Each structure stands twice: as structure tokens, then as C-alpha cells.
Homo-oligomer: A and B are copies of this chain.
Amino acid sequence: MGMNEARAKVFKALGHPSRLTIVDELAQGTRCVCELTALVGADISTVSKHLTVLKSAGIVSDERRGSNVYYTLRMACVSGFMDCVDRHLKSQATAQVAHFEAVPA
């Protein structure tokens, strides 16, 4: 797999609202599938597949403990980039407002 293909796989894995919700939660600590399912609010099989995507991109790891499977965030720097994206989105929103306000009524 080429350099950019490997990178793209990571970004692609992060490119879904439910998966970002999961990553945000895992940034707080390890969680089991049932907890994440309750959080996301989709079918458990859907959440399981989202977790498979994150895992195969190397963003999370899983570990079975008894009848539960726990997932852990492995790419801590994701949170840092998330902050960067948020700042950017906010500044865009501001620019957008400024643009509208610049149009005479």
C-alpha cells in the first residue's frame, strides 16, 4: 500500500460522524461496545462495523474481557487535530457571517 493510500485509510476511517463520536468518547477512556452503542444510537451491528473500520486503520485496538469487548484509542494525536479542525470550522463560520453582514440590506 502506497504512502498516501495508508494515510488516506486513516482519514477515511475518521470521515464519519458516528466514528468521530466514538473516537471522542474513547479519548476519555476505554469503553465496551455496549457503551458505545448506547452513545451512537444505531444498531449494535452497525456500531460493530464502525469499530472494525477504526481498528483496521489502526486508530483503536480491542480486547475481550469476559463477555464484553473493550476498545481503546491508540492514536492520541487525533484529538489534537480535532481541535485544529474545530478552530478552522469556527473561523469559517465567522467569515461566513462577516460575508453576509457585508451585503447591504
Q: Which of A10-27 contact B (CB under 8 A)?
A: 10-21, 24
Number of chain A interface residues as a range = 20 to 34
Copies of this chain, whole number: 2
9-residue interface stretch from A28-36, A64-72, A83-91, A97-105:
A83-91
Interface membership of A44, Cβ < 8 A? no
By beta carbon, the residue of chain B nearest A59 is B88
Chain B residue numbers with a CB within 8 Å of A80 are 80-81, 84
* Besides A7-B85, A15-B15, 17 new A-B residue pairs in contact (Cβ under 8 A), listed by A number: A4-B17, A4-B20, A4-B24, A8-B14, A8-B16, A10-B85, A10-B88, A11-B14, A13-B15, A14-B15, A58-B92, A74-B88, A75-B84, A75-B88, A77-B84, A77-B85, A81-B81
Residue numbers of A with Cβ under 8 A of B are 2, 4-21, 24, 58, 74-75, 77-78, 80-82, 84-86, 88-89, 92
